[in-house]
């Protein structure tokens, strides 16, 4: 039975203005190792379909996991009935969907080794080796390793005539060593935050060497000094750290649904309102943020979004100025746009697609500049690696970040490790304080696989990136 | 929802066809209806049933686990094959603990027919009432109404069998007009005990008390934390409330069991017999839930533990399954007269740890902040960022209001806390 056609024919016969069906199988393998104890070794597979019906400017969505003609028809009818109920309280005069056409296409994450074909024993052996390496250090009291492999196989059809076959894969390999000494406990983590690549990527990471570095730096950190009272300082932020800062302070504020107030009750709204497009100095002139859902290895790269809109590349911030948002077919027309940028994504078959951050990165500097040269050019500052504490207000203005590893820089050299460093800044101060970005030889990408958004909450994923960058005159200090 | 006959048939199939030394087999199902609205219109509307079927097996302390969302025989065969295949390829777990045997479980009633029967038309009618209220104030309303019916079923190779069916209804809404935004939220297990008009009154009361906020300087100042803020704050305290990580030296609770680590006025319990609150019949793979005191008059009595660690230190493997913070009898007006000046906080936002060992957290205020002086509210002020050691803050509790139901799993009071540490201010 062609359930895709059945669902679309039923939706049209009911009088839907638009409808789509997403049949999705999601497989997730999780392995969690804590001090050589395998706390979780699991494979979760969920399979079902979600049907969206758009009628008179309002949405209805129903999902099911029963694949019979009756069940599919019943689910379409349920979505249609709910759309009619939604129509009783329309958004404005009713939503309008941005123009789009149908596509018949397929997409597959490029990889050599399917992580689901790699034997569990090989993965566990690697994780055990990393865990043992870290625990060989006497002051490392806790070593954890979390490996997640996920595969999504989607068939999408819409009343526009689209038929899409999308197959994506990602791997997230994260381990942490925690040192306990002198009444303190400090951790250091290795993580790329997930990449849409095959197992060959994990094999290329030299995790055993990284385990030694992580353990040594956790020990350095637990014996390190903290900073004193807050003062204005220079920060050097590595791309892994910046992945989180750009996610929170650029990615979320430029999601158009937030800008429009659709997340006002939960995730919050945005200061970056439409009248600022084209004139708001979001960052220094050297700051360019590129949205790129065609990025190879990117976690949002899937060929098409869950509106059936092709993946695209565009500037969110160009030469420091707010240029455009990430949007969807339902949000784009509300600021006068005719086409969507294709940022509507759902996590599982039973999730309603929502306006998500695209793959988003800080463009590298145009002038040749190495990290060594940037450090050498910095008289007094703090170099931050990796991700730590993060907190930002619901308008995405005021924020405070920590990090995973901190180094004091004096007279152009890393002189000592630090711990418990926090910095406070805000939009637009933060990105306007950038005065140097290393060049494209040092550009790196890092994923986010746990972006919580929506009601009910969904776990979104996207990739960020950049090269080491310098921020001047930021409030930096130790925690209490 | 899955019938009793289907559950038993599936459990029998696993017992018959699994060759594992041990297993835990669970079925969790839900029937969900979610209506989301923003800017006075519905933006998302979801209906459907979800199912999670999970099998964890063990051979010689080697574990494997598989889950899916179907109960037919082919799907169950696949689960057995997958889980057993993983276990055979796995390495032994030195912390393996065998599954729970049969237990007598406490009587708990988590189900309300009024919630299960709630139709979508009634939910939309109520949202329409809320939207009309917002339009009457020339303001915009955003929020969500949710109805859930949930099943939890667990059987083990060693004879445990438990089932629970629960219901919940929740509604939250944020009202915004220019620089004023505020939110109310509440959930109940029994929709018959929910009043939308009471929620609208509370929302209007908060909204009308606020006006365009002015900035107040950062620094230490007394705060009146309303129940939503107290609960939000307590969630994060509970997040680190693990006995093993404390004993291993990673959190501030190391060596503090039995000691007065919190303030005298702070008492936190979980209870099976509160008629308004949902409570689990069993926890952690089949451990029967029981009434438990976590913190009494500031003394740390108990902490969460998994089954392995609980066995190591001869404790029961429990966790907070609901939250009851003991209240007092001080009204908000009386609290305002107990200190020279302070701020009233409706809620917190984006709470994250800044230092896990000392127990320092950061967060922001949200949903409206009011400045009071000389016993009276003076003005709305912009939001603050705070960095606080949460357990230390309980030592600065000056007064407590009555404990009130905030969610279907929590009753908490309003708290007056001295010298709350605001480290930054926002622009709104």
Q: Can you give B130-150 as a three-state secondary structure string?
A: HHHHHHHCCCEEEEEEEEEEE
Q: Which of B125, B155, B120, B132 is nearest to B47 (CA)?
A: B120
Average pLDDT for B395-417? 98
Condensed to tens digits (0 to 9), the pLDDT of residues A163-183 reads 999 999 999 999 999 999 999
Q: Which of residues 305-344 of B touch A (CB under 8 A)?
A: 308
Condensed to tens digits (0 to 9), the pLDDT of residues A384-402 reads 999 999 999 999 999 999 9
The reported pLDDT for the residue numbered A28 is: 98
Q: Which residue of B has its CA nearest to A454?
A: B36
Phi, psi of A329 (to 5 degrees): -65, -30
- CB pair distance less than 8 Å for A85 and B121: yes
In chain B, count of helices (H) and strands (E)?
10, 21
Q: Which residue has the tokens 């540490």?
A: B421
The reported pLDDT for the residue numbered B1 is: 85
- CB pair distance less than 8 Å for A261 and B140: yes
User: Cα separation of B169 and B150, whole Å?
Assistant: 11
Average pLDDT for A134-143? 98
Would you say residue B329 has pLDDT above 90? yes
Percent of residues, chain A, with pLDDT higher than 90: 99
Residue A397 with chain B: CB contacts under 8 Å: 426-428
Domain ranges for chain A: 3-223, 226-478
- CB pair distance less than 8 Å for A352 and B360: no
User: Cα separation of A311 and A358, whole Å?
Assistant: 9
| pLDDT confidence tier of residue A478, bands split at 50, 70 and 90 | confident
Condensed to tens digits (0 to 9), the pLDDT of residues A312-345 reads 999 999 999 999 999 999 999 999 999 999 999 9
The reported pLDDT for the residue numbered B237 is: 87
Would you say residue A480 has pLDDT above 70? no
Give the architecture-level CATH label for domain A3-223.
2-Layer Sandwich (3.30)
Mutate to test the interface with A, among B43, B233, B360 (most CBs of A within 10 A): B43
What was the ipTM of the complex prediction?
0.95
Q: Which of residues 358-387 of A touch B (CB under 8 A)?
A: none
User: Cα separation of B346 and B225, whole Å?
Assistant: 7
Output the CA torsion B282→B231→B386→A429 (10° steps). 90
Mean per-residue pLDDT over chain A, rounded: 97
**Is the Cβ of A424 closer than 8 Å to some Cβ of chain B?**
yes
- CB pair distance less than 8 Å for A391 and B351: yes
Mean per-residue pLDDT over chain B, rounded: 97
Condensed to tens digits (0 to 9), the pLDDT of residues B376-401 reads 999 999 999 999 999 999 999 999 99
Could you tell me what percentage of chain B is helix, strand and coil, using 3-state DSSP and rounding each to the nearest 5?
25, 40, 35
Q: Which of residues 105-164 of B touch A (CB under 8 A)?
A: 120-121, 124, 127-128, 131, 140, 142-144, 146
Would you say residue B142 has pLDDT above 90? yes
Q: Token pair for residue A94? A: 């009713």
Condensed to tens digits (0 to 9), the pLDDT of residues B284-297 reads 999 999 999 999 99
Q: Which of B375, B289, B380, B281 is nearest to B332 (CA)?
A: B375
- CB pair distance less than 8 Å for A393 and B64: no
Give me the residue from A42, A125, A180 closest to B65, CB to CB. Answer: A42
- CB pair distance less than 8 Å for A479 and B360: yes
* pTM value surpassing 0.95: yes
| pLDDT confidence tier of residue A74, bands split at 50, 70 and 90 | very high
- CB pair distance less than 8 Å for B362 and A389: yes
Condensed to tens digits (0 to 9), the pLDDT of residues B92-137 reads 999 999 999 999 999 999 999 999 999 999 999 999 999 999 999 9
Strand partners, B347: B366
Can you say whether residue A249 is alpha, beta or left, with left for phi > 0 and alpha for psi between -120 and 50 degrees?
alpha
Q: Where are the alpha helices (DSSP H) in A31-97?
A: 69-86
Q: Which of A112, A247, A115, A237 is nearest to A193 (CA)?
A: A247
User: Cα separation of A54 and A82, whole Å?
Assistant: 10
The whole-angstrom distance between residue A141's C-alpha and the CA centroid of its chain comes to 31
| pLDDT confidence tier of residue A156, bands split at 50, 70 and 90 | very high
- CB pair distance less than 8 Å for B40 and A89: yes
Would you say residue B282 has pLDDT above 70? yes
Give me the residue from A82, A183, A264 closest to B142, CB to CB. Answer: A264
The reported pLDDT for the residue numbered B239 is: 87
Output the CA torsion A257→A262→A268→A270 (10° steps). 40
Q: Which residue of A has its CA nearest to B244?
A: A142
Can you say whether residue A15 is alpha, beta or left, with left for phi > 0 and alpha for psi between -120 and 50 degrees?
left
Average pLDDT for B178-201? 97
| pLDDT confidence tier of residue A479, bands split at 50, 70 and 90 | confident
Residue B48 with chain A: CB contacts under 8 Å: 50, 62-64, 75, 350
Phi, psi of B124 (to 5 degrees): -65, -40
In chain B the domains, ranked by start, together with CATH numbers, are 4-199 (3.30.2290.10), 213-428 (no CATH)
- CB pair distance less than 8 Å for B383 and A393: yes
Would you say residue A293 has pLDDT above 90? yes
Condensed to tens digits (0 to 9), the pLDDT of residues B44-58 reads 999 999 999 999 999
Would you say residue A1 has pLDDT above 80? no
The reported pLDDT for the residue numbered A224 is: 97
3-state secondary structure of B270: strand
Instruction: Catalogue the E-assigned strands of A229-292.
Output: 231-237, 289-292
Would you say residue B88 has pLDDT above 70? yes
Handedness of CA B342, B348, B349, B353 (dihedral sign): positive
Residue B390 with chain A: CB contacts under 8 Å: none
Query: What letter does residue B249 receive in the DSSP assignment?
Result: T
Q: Which residue of B has its CA nearest to A120?
A: B89
Condensed to tens digits (0 to 9), the pLDDT of residues A192-222 reads 999 999 999 999 999 999 999 999 999 999 9
Average pLDDT for A7-18? 98
């Amino acid at each position: 039975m062609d359930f895709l056609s059945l669902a679309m024919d039923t939706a049209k016969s009911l009088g839907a203005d638009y409808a789509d069906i997403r049949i999705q199988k999601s497989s997730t393998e999780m392995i969690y190792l804590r001090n050589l104890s395998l706390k979780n070794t699991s494979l979760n597979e969920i399979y079902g379909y979600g049907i969206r019906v758009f009628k008179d400017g309002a949405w209805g969505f129903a999902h099911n996991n029963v694949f019979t003609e009756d069940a599919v028809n019943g689910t379409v009818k349920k979505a249609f009935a709910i759309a009619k109920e939604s129509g009783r309280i329309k958004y404005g005069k009713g939503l309008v969907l941005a123009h789009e056409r149908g596509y018949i296409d397929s997409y597959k994450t490029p990889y050599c080794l399917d992580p689901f074909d790699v034997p569990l024993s090989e993965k566990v052996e690697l994780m055990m080796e990393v865990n043992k390496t870290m625990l060989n250090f006497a002051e490392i009291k806790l070593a954890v390793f979390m490996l997640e492999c996920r595969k999504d196989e989607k068939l999408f059809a819409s009343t526009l005539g689209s038929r899409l076959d999308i197959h994506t894969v990602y791997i997230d390999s994260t381990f942490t060593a925690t040192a306990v000494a002198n009444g303190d406990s400090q951790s250091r983590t290795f993580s790329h935050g997930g990449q849409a690549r095959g197992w060959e990527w994990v094999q290329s990471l030299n995790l055993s060497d990284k385990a030694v570095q992580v353990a040594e730096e956790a020990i350095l950190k637990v014996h390190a000094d903290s900073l004193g009272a807050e003062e204005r300082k220079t920060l050097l932020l590595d791309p892994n750290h910046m992945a989180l800062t750009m996610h929170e302070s650029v990615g979320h504020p430029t999601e158009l649904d937030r800008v429009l107030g659709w997340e006002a009750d939960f995730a919050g709204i945005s200061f970056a309102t439409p009248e600022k497009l084209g004139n708001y100095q979001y960052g220094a002139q050297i700051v360019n943020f590129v949205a790129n859902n065609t990025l190879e290895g990117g976690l949002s790269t899937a060929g098409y979004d869950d509106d059936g809109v092709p993946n695209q590349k565009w500037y969110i911030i160009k030469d420091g100025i707010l240029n455009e948002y990430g949007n969807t077919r339902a949000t784009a027309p509300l600021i006068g746009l005719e086409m969507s940028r294709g940022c509507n994504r759902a996590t599982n078959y039973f999730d309603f697609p929502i306006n998500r951050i695209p793959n988003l990165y800080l463009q590298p500097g145009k002038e040749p500049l190495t990290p060594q040269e940037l450090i050498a050019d910095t008289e007094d500052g703090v170099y931050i690696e990796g991700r730590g504490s993060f907190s930002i207000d619901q308008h995405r203005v005021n924020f405070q970040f920590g990090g995973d590893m901190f180094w004091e820089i004096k007279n152009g050299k890393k002189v000592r490790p630090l711990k418990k460093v926090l910095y406070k800044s805000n939009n637009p101060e933060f990105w306007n304080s950038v005065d140097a970005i290393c060049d494209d030889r040092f550009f790196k990408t890092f994923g986010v696989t746990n972006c919580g958004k929506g009601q009910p909450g969904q776990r979104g994923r996207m990739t960020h990136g950049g090269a080491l960058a310098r921020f001047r005159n930021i409030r930096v200090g130790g925690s209490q | 929802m899955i019938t009793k006959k289907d559950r038993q048939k599936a459990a029998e199939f696993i017992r018959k066809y699994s060759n594992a030394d041990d297993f835990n087999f669970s079925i969790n199902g839900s029937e969900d209806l979610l209506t989301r609205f923003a800017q006075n219109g519905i933006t998302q509307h979801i209906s459907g049933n979800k199912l999670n079927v999970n099998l964890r097996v063990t051979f010689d302390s080697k574990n494997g686990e598989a889950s899916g969302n179907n109960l037919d025989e082919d799907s169950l065969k696949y689960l057995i094959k997958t889980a057993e295949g993983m276990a055979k390829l796995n390495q032994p777990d030195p912390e393996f603990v065998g599954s729970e045997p049969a237990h007598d479980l406490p009587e708990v009633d988590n189900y309300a027919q009024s919630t299960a029967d709630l139709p979508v038309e009634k939910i939309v009618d109520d949202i329409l009432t809320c939207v009309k209220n917002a339009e009457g104030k020339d303001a915009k309303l955003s929020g969500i109404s949710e109805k859930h019916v949930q099943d939890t079923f667990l059987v083990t190779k060693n004879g445990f069998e438990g089932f629970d069916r629960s219901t919940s209804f929740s509604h939250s809404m944020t009202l915004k007009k220019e620089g004023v935004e505020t939110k109310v939220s509440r959930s109940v297990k029994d929709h018959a005990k929910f009043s939308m008009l009471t929620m609208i009154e509370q929302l209007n009361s908060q909204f009308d008390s606020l006006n365009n906020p002015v900035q107040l300087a950062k620094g230490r100042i007394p705060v009146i934390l309303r129940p939503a803020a107290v609960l939000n704050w307590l969630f994060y305290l509970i997040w680190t409330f693990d006995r093993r990580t404390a004993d291993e030296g990673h959190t501030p609770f190391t060596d503090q069991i039995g000691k007065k680590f919190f303030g005298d006025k702070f008492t936190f319990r979980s209870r099976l017999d509160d008629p308004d609150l949902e409570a689990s019949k069993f926890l952690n793979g089949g451990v029967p839930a029981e009434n438990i005191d976590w913190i009494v008059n500031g003394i740390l009595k108990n902490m969460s533990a998994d089954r392995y660690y609980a066995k190591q230190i001869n404790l029961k493997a429990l966790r907070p399954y609901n939250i009851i913070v003991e209240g007092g009898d001080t009204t908000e007006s009386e609290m305002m007269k107990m200190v020279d000046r302070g701020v009233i906080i409706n809620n917190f936002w984006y709470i994250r740890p800044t230092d896990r060992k000392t127990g320092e957290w950061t967060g922001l205020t949200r949903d409206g902040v009011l400045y009071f002086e000389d016993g009276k509210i003076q003005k709305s002020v912009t939001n603050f960022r705070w960095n606080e050691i949460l357990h230390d803050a309980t030592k600065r509790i000056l007064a407590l209001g009555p404990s009130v139901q905030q969610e279907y799993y929590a009753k908490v009071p309003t708290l007056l806390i001295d010298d709350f540490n605001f480290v930054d201010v926002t622009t709104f």
